[in-house]
Each structure stands twice: as structure tokens, then as C-alpha cells.
Amino acid sequence: MLLEAFNDPLLGVIQSRIVMAAMTRGFCGPNHTATEQMAKYYAARARNGVGLILTEGTIVHRAGDGYNNVPHIETDEQAESWQQVTDAVHAEGGRIFCQLWHCGRISHADYTGGAAPLSSTSRAADGVNRQNNKPFGQPRGMENDDFEAVISQFVTAARNAMAAGFDGVELHGGHGYLIDQFFDARVNDRPDDYGGSVPNRCRFGLEVVARVLQAVGPSAVMVRISPSRDMGGLYDWPNLEEMLDYLVPALRAVGLRMLDVSCANADYYKTSGRVVRMIRPAWKDLLIGGASLSREQAEAELSEGLLDMVTWGRALLANPDMPRRFRAGAPLAEFSRDMLSTLA
């Protein structure tokens, strides 16, 4: 199944069930624009048979940045720069979604134009920002006007992405970034309607999803969540089952039909694979995940109906031709960290 083309009700005909996961690369051009080299990088994966590409995290607004040299999609210049990327991927038979990203408190005023990072809390994240080797900035808990402003930033970014030729967008609701900072009870300490109970902690994320769906439609919106992942050790959302029992039906209720369960390079079966098995009975629409599976393991997840498409990240950095290697029965090259220093 993995290497066969298939016709998805929302996405149409896809050349394989292989998905390139979103991975931060840090090679944007001036003013946080996409570049010709980025177009070549993504097109190479489509040329070799990757069915769906999820771009690196792309910042929806300067206030949500937290990394060096990552692309944005806030201004007309930034949005127009992505057209060369989408054209190149489509010319090779691939589909491509833009991952929309707001870092929340995983940031520093160095990246936000001097403003305090926004979050569900006023507590700074532990540790040091590896981008500037400074402690994470003191965030400002979002207030009433902030919610509409940030939701509007996601909506504008989604519209910009569609105007730039993307097939859709993926809303980053995982890995400890802004939306996940509301989901996660260990971070979210709010006493208001956006904190405390499970429905309240899910409220902001659901509002973002609903508004983006209204703007661009259900065939163009995917959400990434990471309820169980590796964050310096295996980590689950508190009240994991209760959260999933509420959030998954609620996402369907607002119209979402595509979900990405990510594990941040952790063991799939100990993290997102567990989550997939917990939510699959309630989620009958497009479900993707994987990241660390062998081809045989991926085929098993597909044949059992647990996943509809399978993600790979670092394996596709090391093997732009991974689908061809799978067809030929050839071994995969090993990923090494020096591959992160180039865009190839």
C-alpha cells in the first residue's frame, strides 16, 4: 500500500502514502522569505515519489517567532516567495501543505521585535533557547484582545499560503508550541475560560482550527498534535485519555478531517503509536503518523487501518530518494547530524 497511488476524498489523487514530516531547517532568505534552494529541496522529495510534503514550520507573525532564519508567511513578499516552492513540487507530481507555526513561550524577545512572547502562562519555559543561548524569555499570558489577534494571524497566514499555491496548511498544535501550551495542563495555569478544565484548555486550539477551516475549507486544513512525545524523555499530556476523549470528537465537530499525530523523533510504539490506537475508533478520517518506522512497520500500520499515510522526517533528509529505495529493496542511508548543516 505504501508506494501505491491512492485517491483521498479530500486530497484527491496522491502518488504514494509517504509523507515528508515538517522539520525546522533554518535556511530562509532575506526578510524570512522562501528561496530557490528551498524549492529544489522540497521538489527533490516529490520527484522521488513522496506523496505529501509538510513544510518546515512557517511563522504566522513576527510575534510568534523563536528561531534563527526560519521562514514566515505574514507579508505579501513572504507569501509570494513560496510560489516557486509550490510550483516546483507540483511539477514533480507532489502535494504540499504549509505548516503554520507560532512558538509561544518557546522564544525570546530577540525574535519577537522586543515584545514578550505570548503564552497560556506567564511562567518562562525551563532551560536555554539553543538559538541564542539565552534563557527562554518571560512570556506574557494572553489576554482578551490577544486571542482574536493571534487567531487572525493564523487565518491570514492560511489565506496567504493558499494564494501562494499550497494545497493546504497544517496547524502546529504540538511539540510544546503555542497551541500545545494551552492543551498541556503542566503549562496552562490559567484561571479563566482558557484554562483549568479539559474543555477550557482545548478552547483556544479549537477556535484557531474552526476559524482557519472557515477561511480555507476542510480539504485544506490538517492539525498536528503530539500528546505523547520525547521531550528530553518520554512525556504524555496529563489526563491523556480524558484529553483525547474530548479533543478528538471536538476537532471533528468543528469540521476538521485531517489529523497528524507526531512523536518528535521518539519511539513510535511508545508514543504516537499508542495515541493512534486510542483515537482511531473515534477518528475515521485521514490520520497520519510514524516518523521512526521501517517500511515493514509502516505497511503493517496501513494494512491494519491504523494510519492512512506514514510520515518520515530525518530519514528523508538522508534519503531524498527513499520511495525509490523502497521499491528497489535498497538499504537506507543513515541520518547524521551534519546533514542538518546543509539543505540538499
Give the catalytic positions in this structure.
177
Tell me how crowded residue 114 is: count the other CB atoms within 10 A of its CB: 7
Note the helical H segments in 48-183: 76-81, 83-91, 144-163, 178-183
Phi, psi of 252 (to 5 degrees): -65, -40
Q: Residues 18, 287, 57, CA angle at the centre, nearest 5°?
A: 70
Rounded CA-CA distance 200/221 in Å is 22
Interstrand relation of 52-54 and 95-101 (parallel, antiparallel or unpaired): parallel
Q: Of 73, 3, 76, give the one whose Cα is nearest residue 38.
A: 73
Question: How many CA atoms lie within 13 Å of 167's alpha carbon, on the beta-carbon side?
Answer: 22
